[in-house]
Amino acid sequence: MREGMGRNYGIQKIAVKHVASMVEELLCLSMERLNRSARRKQNWQKPVKEWCKVNTDASFISSSASGAGGAVIRDEEGRLIAAASKRYKHLEDALMAEALAARDGLMLAGVTGCEKVIFEIDNLPLFNLLHSEAGERNVIAGLWQEIRELGKNFSDFIISFV
């Protein structure tokens, strides 16, 4: 009798594992659907008349502590004003790469003569940091301050998260 119970217990254990696996798969599929719907594709929008739009983005490779950043500046018609890219070494993290790209993009906007700037970034931690006073206590404090100062050089300056 004991042997039969052991066999049933083994079958039950296999069945429980199978059901748990199915539930986990179902939850993952539901989460994927939620993530897809939450991240709808957003098309680039032209800035309003007399404004420039500066878009920056960066990459980070932790194994080599390096990365790259780029910036694109467009006018109210969507025409390219300027674009640039740069490699970065000795990076702390992705936030630092994003901040370097942001700084370089705003410097490029300054030298190209942009006066009214919509600055679009896709890094939420950097966006939040630039809208707070917490940047002075962050590892990117110098870049945080530099980005904020560069923004003051424009007659109008808006930071937007996309």
pTM, to two decimals = 0.75
Q: What is the CATH number of domain 52-161?
A: 3.30.420.10
Q: Give domain limits for the chain.
A: 1-40, 52-161
Which pLDDT value is given to residue 36?
Answer: 53
Question: How far apart, in whole angstroms, are the C-alpha atoms of residue 21 and residue 89?
Answer: 43
Distances (CA, A) of 144 to 81, 99, 114: 25, 7, 21
pLDDT of 44 reads: 84
Write out pLDDT tens, residues 57-91: 999 999 999 999 999 999 999 999 999 999 999 99
